[in-house]
A and B are shown apart, each in its own frame.
Chain A
Amino acid sequence: MTGQTPPPVLEMRDVTKTYMIRRGIFSPKQPLRAVNGVSLKIDRGDVLGLVGESGCGKSTLAKILLGLEMPTDGEIMIDGKPVDRDGDRKAIARRIQPIFQDPYSSLNPRKTIGSIVSLPLRVHKVGDPLTWRKSVEDILDIVGLPRRVYDSYPNQLSGGQRQRVAIARALIMKPEIVICDEPTSALDVSVQSQILNLLMDLREELNLTYVLISHNLAVVEHIATKVAVMYLGRIVEETGTEALFDKARHPYTKALLSSVLTPEPGLGVPDSGLGIAFPNPINPPSGCTFHPRCAKAFGPCSVDKPPVIMDADGRVECHLYA
């Protein structure tokens, strides 16, 4: 491999996930494309921000990445090698770990912190009971928890401490990729910034790659290196953080950005002009799926699928730039 750039640590090629949904007892099943032909490359050390409204498929995408759901179609490659479709779940789990949104429901209330954090070691049969405790204590140090919490239960910890436990559990297998699904949205403001600082520090120390799923665009802008915007199962725009926040191109991205409430008094509440009607994913609009909500929609938008435009500024799917 000399002279070549290393393959992306994580790559998705045309990944599609279709659920068959039955809407009534006697009606036939209909396909719901939660993720519809998503291609993404994530290089080592990147922080990919994945943004979009609820229902756009970002959590399904996270599940596919974690191996919790198998894609209906398409390929996932780790370090350039395709992941076995029929699921070598354990192999994926060693390299990709999640941090979930709600540290109140993602930790088993009846297990001690030591037991929760060491579970991945036991599952993967790494080390032996003697080294487990040491490994857990090391990782507790890294995430900034006192070692005495080893024998505590989750209900004895604050929200921020619980999220640190979740981070410790994710990191104990020394994964390369961490999928953070809304890692701070269940936390108080003053604690959010602590967790974000911790995530940024850990990334540098441990050379981690993050996929950061969040609807808090200020957070995404702050720590992501590139951003993908999802709408109805498709990635409609993908580019570097600076390009996205400084000169977004897709009308949906622009509307999302205009909805962010920055703490600047006197500006009032913006009106994104999106309307409320998030389309029904079982019966998506024709042409560009965004056209019914788009302020800039014109002729071809309701008829043709938007072209994919790739240039120096990134990737965007929109008729405006054809």
Chain B
Amino acid sequence: MSAVLEVSGLTVDIPVPSGDLHAVRGIDFSVDKGETLCIVGESGCGKSLTSLSIMGLLPKRAKVSADRMHFVGTDLLGMKERELAAIRGNRMAMIFQEPMTSLNPAYTIGNQLMEPLIRHKNASDKEARDRAIYLLERVGITAAASRLSQYPHQLSGGLRQRVMIAMALMCDPELIIADEPTTALDVTIQAQILHLLAELRKEFNSALILITHDLGVVARVADKVAVMYAGKIVEAGTVDEIFNQPLHPYTQGLINCIPVPGKTARGSRLGSIPGIVPTLIGDIKGCSFRNRCAFAHGECDTKDPFHTLSPGRGYRCTLDVPACEANAKELVSA
């Protein structure tokens, strides 16, 4: 398998007045050509910082370190800003959450779409324009040629998000990172955009990292899933493994929280995870989920082991697999 991106031991620390905020605390993952990896977690778990650190877009004061961060064989960590800029938007592209704030309001759609191709591939205006029109049509925008002269505020949210996707695809990237690409959109548009992303990923055979907190999205598009909590990956596996055999109590809790039509009785109480995410400032000992976990015990105060069950499948808990499976049953019946 040819890994497009391989990350191990990634940490991101952000200095704050009261110490260092350990936003990402040593995470490992990889994504192959044509594969979709979903990173799931709630706000503040470090999933967006992870993607920004891959893209090299974190502010200077954030301290990023990793044992390994390889993009198609080249080391991203040692790279100078100029070298990184040559990759960014070219071989590695990002789709941001809010198309309103990530498109420049002062430039036309066409201008912003054509820029990466002209800049990275030395394309002529004509070539860039043709590609922009082609991609706008591919993402399902009608009257593409006339859109090029429009400004972002003239488009609806769904259209803007499509423009963002088209922009990310301009240079045929090997890796696309999409940070909550559909959170702000209607269900109908969400389904269409995800459908489109899946289709385009197949067509261009790029790797996709999708960051989301919506388990519905994860279930439908992911090949592999990494569940993040408080800066660490607490469970990883294929999408079937995560949904059919969730081992970490946090994953189990998340799955319990959402009503599933046809399965959850209408009007019944939904599962919930009590408490809130702990602060990540200063030294953190033991399992960071223990204050919200129904199965926490003495060992959890000091230990936080990660068990690898097979390549790509593992979980972080002091309990063994049979105990975790028993917990899952208990949570469902509670």
Contacts and interface: CB of A to CB of B under 8 A. Distances in A.
Interface of A: 53-55, 158-160, 188-194, 196-197, 200, 215-219, 221-223, 241-242, 245, 255-256, 258-272, 274-278
A284 B112 CA distance: 31
Contacts of A54: 156-157, 186
What's the dominant secondary structure at chain B's contact region? helix
A261 B258 contact: no
Given A221-B259, A266-B240, A261 B272 contact: no
Contacts of A260: 187, 216, 261
Contacts of A268: 198, 220
A34 to B, nearest CB: 15
B187 A219 contact: no
A54 B187 CA distance: 10
Contact of A222 (B43, B240, B243, B267): B267
A65 B44 CA distance: 36
B217 A262 contact: no
Interface string B146-164: 0000000000111100100
A193 B272 CA distance: 6
B270 A269 contact: no
A193 B215 contact: no
Interface in B247-270: 253-262, 264, 266-267, 269-270
Interface of B: 42-43, 140-142, 156-159, 162, 186-192, 194-195, 198, 213-222, 239-240, 242-244, 253-262, 264, 266-267, 269-274, 276
A256 B270 contact: no
Contacts of B259: 218-219, 221-222
A278 B192 CA distance: 13
B140 A276 contact: yes
A219 B261 CA distance: 9
Contact of B191 (A196, A216, A269): A269
B39 to A, nearest CB: 14
B266 A222 contact: yes
Given A158-B276, A192-B257, A263 B271 contact: no
A221 B243 CA distance: 22
B258 A193 contact: yes
B159 A269 contact: no
Contact of B43 (A188, A271, A278): A188
B264 A265 contact: no
Given A263-B218, A276-B140, A245 B261 contact: yes
B187 to A, nearest CB: 4
21 contacts: A188-B42, A193-B257, A194-B272, A200-B269, A215-B187, A218-B260, A219-B259, A223-B267, A245-B261, A261-B187, A261-B214, A261-B217, A261-B219, A261-B220, A264-B220, A265-B239, A265-B242, A270-B191, A270-B195, A271-B192, A272-B191
Given A53-B189, A217-B187, A221-B266, A263 B195 contact: no
Nearest to B45: A188
Given A193-B270, A261-B220, 5 more contacts: A189-B213, A192-B258, A259-B187, A261-B194, A265-B220
Of A196, A261, A262, most buried by chain B (CB within 10 Å of CB) is A261
B102 to A, nearest CB: 19
B186 A264 contact: no
Contacts, number: 147
Contacts of B258: 189, 192-193, 218, 263
Nearest to B257: A193
Contact of A263 (B191, B216, B240, B253): B216
Of A222, A267, A270, A275, most buried by chain B (CB within 10 Å of CB) is A222
A159 B44 CA distance: 12
Contacts of B159: 276
Contact of B219 (A193, A218, A264): A264
A261 B216 contact: yes
Given A193-B257, A268-B220, A269-B220, A276 B213 contact: no
A259 B220 contact: no
Nearest to A190: B273
Top-5 shortest CB links A-B = A261-B216, A193-B270, A190-B273, A188-B42, A259-B191
A222 B264 contact: yes
Contacts of B141: 276
Contacts of A221: 259, 261, 266
A276 B42 CA distance: 30
B156 A190 contact: no
Of B213, B219, B272, most buried by chain A (CB within 10 Å of CB) is B272
Contacts of B270: 193, 196-197, 222
Contacts of A188: 42-43, 213
A272 B186 CA distance: 12
A258 B264 CA distance: 18
Contacts of B192: 271-272, 274, 276
Of A189, A196, A245, most buried by chain B (CB within 10 Å of CB) is A189
Given A221-B259, A271-B195, A276-B140, A189 B215 contact: yes
Contacts of A255: 188
B188 A269 contact: no
Nearest to B240: A265
Nearest to B254: A189
A263 B187 contact: no
B278 to A, nearest CB: 12
B188 to A, nearest CB: 5
Nearest to B264: A222
B271 A276 contact: no
A158 B278 CA distance: 12
B188 A274 contact: yes
A267 B260 CA distance: 14
Nearest to B270: A193
